[in-house]
Structure 1
Amino acid sequence: MTQSLLERLSPTNRVLKRAQYEAFAFSLYDGDVLVRNESHLRPADHEYRVTIVDGIPTTCECPADKRFDGPCKHRTALAIRPTILDVATQMQLVADGGVTTEKISTEPRDNTDIQECDCQYLNDNFLCWECVKTGRRELPE
Structure 2
Amino acid sequence: MGSNPSSLKLHDFNSVNTIIASPDYPKNITLVDVREFSELQKSGKIPGAINVPFNSQPSAFKYDQATWEESFANVPKPALDQELVFYCAAGRRAKAAADVAAEAGYENLGVYTGSFTDWQNNKGKTEAV
Question: What's the TM-score once normalised by structure 2's chain length?
Answer: 0.25
The higher relative CO (CA closer than 8 Å, separation ≥ 6) is in 2
Q: Kindly name which structure, 1 or 2, has the bigger radius of gyration based on alpha carbons.
A: 1
